[in-house]
Amino acid sequence: MSEAQQRLADVRASIKDILENGQSVRKGDRQLDRAQLASLRMLEEQYAKQAAAEQAAARGRPRVTRLYSRGKGI
């Protein structure tokens, strides 16, 4: 698993945790606030794009080669 895919999995796990357990947890007089869901959604989108780019690069997308003759494209 690539680094971007691992980060994406971590962010998705955090989102799942917030959705299942709530944004904040209170125990006695202490309160723990988790990351903002909107921020995690933005990170998820960013990491998904990075993971897709890494996968495309690993597949070896075909490259376009252009030949020029006397300054004009063929």
Express each pLDDT in 2-60 by its tens digit.
Answer: 888 999 999 999 999 999 988 888 889 999 888 899 999 999 999 999 999 888 888 87
The pLDDT value given to residue 46: 95
- Compare 58 and 64 and report the one with higher pLDDT: 58
More confident residue, 49 or 74: 49
pTM: 0.68
What length does the chain have? 74
Question: What dihedral angle (degrees, nearest 10) is formed by the CA atoms of 36, 41, 43, 44?
Answer: 140
**Where does residue 8 rank: exposed (0-12), middle (13-18), buried (19+ CB within 10 A)?**
buried
Look at residue 54 in the predicted model and tell me its pLDDT: 87
